[in-house]
Structure 1
């Protein structure tokens, strides 16, 4: 079924629409899915042609509930799906690491057909589990980048907004899904149509693939003070072996007292406390997203012993690392 409700041949023969299948998994990101499918719908509208056709797929053919509780009706199941040109996997948010065995087997079958397959957000993780990304450039939401690199060393993982490598397309999710689809629409039907869609959505520009997912550090910390940005950058680059406040001050070329004043004025904190928070956030991410032993998590985040890590973590988050892992995100 296409966007105006008429049935069309799903094959991508001359004059026929390109058919995208969207596999929606429970807990999928609604903003990422909507950003992708709306770009295709708008391509039909601005061109006055049926350029694209979409089918919503769920594992069992039933409606699927998104991460924010909105349900989307499925047109097909894994067993009853029609033919299509490309599949986009819309993964759960946060990533679901179990319960996807049937989907992974299905993806491996599609791979044998030489089909173009893509992942939005954590959809990349399922593609990786199925072996679809070995030897490819790929990305995933920045929160999951580290775990994807650790679990799948044969993937060339990037922090780019999206990646298009041969017959594999992946993006970080969120609004990046729209940038990815606009880029593909531009490749398939010309930049003029893609630009018209962007204007309809009041998007000032189409971001390129190599655009980083995370906003610049100065925007994240809310200041453009050069020395402060240098200090925080050093902290983020030295999580496993934390620098002392004196070391930080030396490397950025200011006195310890001046560095402490900068942190107090712009970040309402002191260097040591801010640094500790960064390390604990990194540890929390690993606990929620990986099976790395807690002692190893402690070492990778700059804690000399697991007991010191556990005490510090509990004081900050109100739960121990073990409880954090049991509870999940």
Structure 2
């Protein structure tokens, strides 16, 4: 594999880097359906760093399984530089994935990641790229993350692994981010480690990001924003509901844990959220079921159990009432014909009755 010369574009802004050191190398492995936003958000800070410093601080190349162009989730194809040949150990290899997340689990991709890690290289995942790292067995003892939309399916497929809710995670040999703007945040954090916080702040300014990384570490908005309330009791109850989708807590137990009476809880939900606690809780579980049907190939009975429904019939009735379509038709509509296999499950889940 032959490296091309690092790209150092011209620009009006300038920020000198007095001791740049050796050029740091990156490789981005694009898999079909990768998220264009997440990929470009990772590459552009490197380009901006070179442009600001007018030095080859960073060098990058694009890889694909066959060395050909790869179609992103938006239908835009990106040309690549090479196939999955071995990389120098000092290259940071990132798997760029999207939907279906299972594309990152393709055997050649997993083999590439495994080989690079085995010979001392640093590996990473962008958006759903963490799936490749999980398949390669590289996430057991390190913090990691992936896009929040894909975390429920990931946890079903890899029940022994727990992704974090943060924008990105940087460990010595494994780096992951949720994609989108998180890709930029992760790369700016790496640039800060390489060349200092002041230079990284200037890169952030060039990206029109006025807030430096670390100020808002979570991928998703605060629960208080999502439910349009700052009531601590209500927020705590919704958090407990979200933590108990598979084993729903009775309303009496939710009220007891929160220190309120059942009647007070019912009034609070109706006045703030416009729903009874039971309807709201059922909605959370049905949204989780929709996510699992969208991103996994789990049988309907397993989806029902994972979402706290005692039977497929109960899930089906509730699903149709909320979404206007039966879960079986919803699942078939998503597939619409042959497509790559969805994320597999590595461990079966024991069935539990609904509370």
Would the TM-score normalized by the shorter structure come out above 0.5? yes
**Preserved contact between residue 135 and residue 156 of structure 1 (Cα < 8 Å):** no
2:67 corresponds to: 61
Q: Distance in 1 between matches of 2:118 and 2:192?
A: 28
2:300 corresponds to: 294
2:341 corresponds to: none
What is the deviation of 1:155? 4.1
**Preserved contact between residue 91 and residue 126 of structure 1 (Cα < 8 Å):** no
Q: 1:176 aligns with which of 178, 182, 203?
A: 182
Measured on the aligned residues, the alpha-carbon RMSD in Å equals 2.9
Q: 1:189 aligns with which of 195, 217, 242?
A: 195
Q: 1:309 aligns with which of 276, 301, 315?
A: 315
Q: Distance in 2 between matches of 1:43 and 1:18?
A: 12
1:153-183 Cα deviation digits (max 9, x unpaired): 5545322222222211111111111111111
Q: Secondary structure at the match of 1:203?
A: coil
2:283 corresponds to: 277
**Preserved contact between residue 136 and residue 156 of structure 1 (Cα < 8 Å):** no
Structure 1 residues 249 and 141: CA distance shift in structure 2, 3 A: same
1:116 corresponds to: 122
Q: Secondary structure at the match of 1:157?
A: coil
**Preserved contact between residue 8 and residue 55 of structure 2 (Cα < 8 Å):** no
TM-score by length of 2: 0.80
Q: How many positions carry a matched residue from both structures? A: 322
Structure 1 residues 98 and 126: CA distance shift in structure 2, 3 A: closer
**What are the within-5 Å matches in structure 2 for residues 11-160 of structure 1?**
15-79=21-85, 85-96=91-102, 100-153=106-159, 155=161, 157-160=163-166
2:232 corresponds to: 226
Q: Distance in 2 between matches of 1:48 and 1:289?
A: 43
Q: Distance in 2 between matches of 1:65 and 1:178?
A: 21
What is the deviation of 1:304? 2.0
Q: Distance in 1 between matches of 2:262 and 2:269?
A: 11
**Preserved contact between residue 159 and residue 212 of structure 1 (Cα < 8 Å):** yes
Question: 206-215 or 184-193, which moves further after superposition?
Answer: 206-215
Q: Distance in 2 between matches of 1:60 and 1:301?
A: 40
Q: Distance in 2 between matches of 1:128 and 1:28?
A: 17
Q: 1:3 aligns with which of 7, 10, 23?
A: 7
Structure 1 residues 185 and 105: CA distance shift in structure 2, 3 A: same
2:17 corresponds to: none
Give ranges in structure 2 of 5+ residues lacking alignment.
11-19, 336-355
**Preserved contact between residue 137 and residue 155 of structure 1 (Cα < 8 Å):** no
Q: Distance in 2 between matches of 1:72 and 1:107?
A: 21
Q: Distance in 1 between matches of 2:321 and 2:312?
A: 14
**Preserved contact between residue 167 and residue 219 of structure 2 (Cα < 8 Å):** yes
Give ranges in structure 1 of 5+ residues lacking alignment.
7-13
Question: 223-232 or 243-252, which moves further after superposition?
Answer: 243-252
What is the deviation of 1:121? 1.0
1:113-166 Cα deviation digits (max 9, x unpaired): 221111001111012112233333221112222333343355453222222222
